[in-house]
Structure formats: C-alpha cells, structure tokens
Amino acid sequence: MKKIGLVGGISWTSTLDYYKGINEGINRKLGGLDAAECVIYSLNFGDIQRKTWVNSFDLILNACKTVESIGVDAIVLCANTAHLFADTIQREIDIPIIHIVKAAASEIQKSGLQKVGLLGTQFTMEMNFYHDKLNEYDIQILIPESQEEIAEIQHIIKNELGKGIITSESKKKFIQYAEKLISRGAEGIMLGCTEIPMLIEQKDFNFPVFDTTKIHVEHIVNFALDTENPAVNTI
C-alpha cells in the first residue's frame, strides 16, 4: 500500500471527512482490519484566514514539504481552494499531488456533461485556476451571477460549515443557488468546496451532483492501492 500525505486543517471539519472516507475506502477493498497508511499535517486555518488564501503559498508549501520529508508517496491538499497553488507546489516537490479538479473533471467527462455549475468559496468560483483546469477537459462552468449570492456562499462556508455548523436555512439557500445555475444552462452541479457536502448532496436534487470531496477520496484510494489511474499532477 502506498502512503498518503494529507495537508488538512483547511478546514478541520472537511479533513475529518477525508480521513474517514479514505480509511473506509481502503477497508471496503481489502476487508478485515486493513486501513489507510497516511500522515496528516493539519494547518491552522486561522493563519490562512489572517494571511488570506492568496498570501498563504508559503504555509501550504511548507506543509507539503514537511509531509514529503516523512516519506509519503503522494500528497493530498484537503481543500479545493488550496489547489490554487497545486501546479506551483508540484514543481517544488518530487512526489505527485493527487489533484481534486482533475479527479472531478474525469468524472464529469465520464457522465458526458460539458457545462456544469460551480459552488465553492469565492476564490474557487472567481479565480482562474479552477476554470482553467476544467477547460483542459473541455468543460465549461457557470458560477452565480450575483455578487450578493457569491458573498453569501462565502459567508456560509467560512462562518458556518468551517466550524461544523449546519442550518436548514443555509441548506435551502444552497439548493436555490444550485437550481438557479441549472436554469441558466448548467447540466449538473459541482460541489467545489470540501465543506459543502456537509450541507447538500445528490439526494437533494434530480440532476447530477459532483461531490468533489467524494470523487477525490475515490482517486486517493485507487492511488494507494494502485487499482486505477488516479488524477495525479503531471507538472
């Protein structure tokens, strides 16, 4: 089994889902008491919030290099927004990053969809790194048109989901945001933040929903057991 280095804490609530999902995935395939070999470097999300995401490259790079020095076989950034730096970090380390956007894009391609709506942090929705990576797979994305809606999504992710707070009111809002994207021509919805699946999931909709955390975990398990070709970086 290959050893996985998880760079988490961004936020700790979604890192729990990664740890649980990876171990459950390994056990489903191997049975018995088998579980994942992994190392977790849990960043202080408060440090990133104080520096802001765009100024947090050194924090995330240091975490990746620390985990690499332990002797893992691949690195996982346990947040969509952290993939803002994935390609640059890949050039600084000697082991692959299992890329969440590449993993999600491969699953969207399998479904035959070409245009999807994206819900995520403000950085993920508005900055080019997510759009550009999906464009490599000929996938177009739509994001909410209203800055007010984008700000509300960011608020819920940061101030509620990042603290493990789940409310029916916020769930209702996210369902409405998703349905608006579908009404504008999206064929499915990407949950492009690792906290969002705490709030909404496939059973809440009658159109395809791509849970990037779940998809990412599946690719991590496949890499660890060398059962399929995962979405590793090739930078």
Nearest to 169 by CA among 188, 150, 155: 155
Domain assignments of the chain as residue spans, ordered by start = 4-98, 101-211
What pLDDT score does 53 carry?
86
What pLDDT score does 234 carry?
45
CATH fold match for the domains 4-98 and 101-211: yes
Q: 101-211: which CATH topology?
A: Rossmann fold (3.40.50)
pLDDT tens, N- to C-terminus, the chain (235 residues):
999 999 999 888 889 989 999 999 999 999 999 999 999 999 998 999 899 888 999 999 999 999 999 999 999 999 888 888 999 999 999 999 999 999 999 999 998 999 999 998 888 898 888 888 888 899 999 999 889 999 999 999 888 987 889 999 999 999 999 999 999 999 999 998 878 988 999 999 999 999 999 999 999 999 999 876 555 554 4
What pLDDT score does 198 carry?
86
pTM confidence score: 0.84
CATH class of the region 4-98:
alpha beta
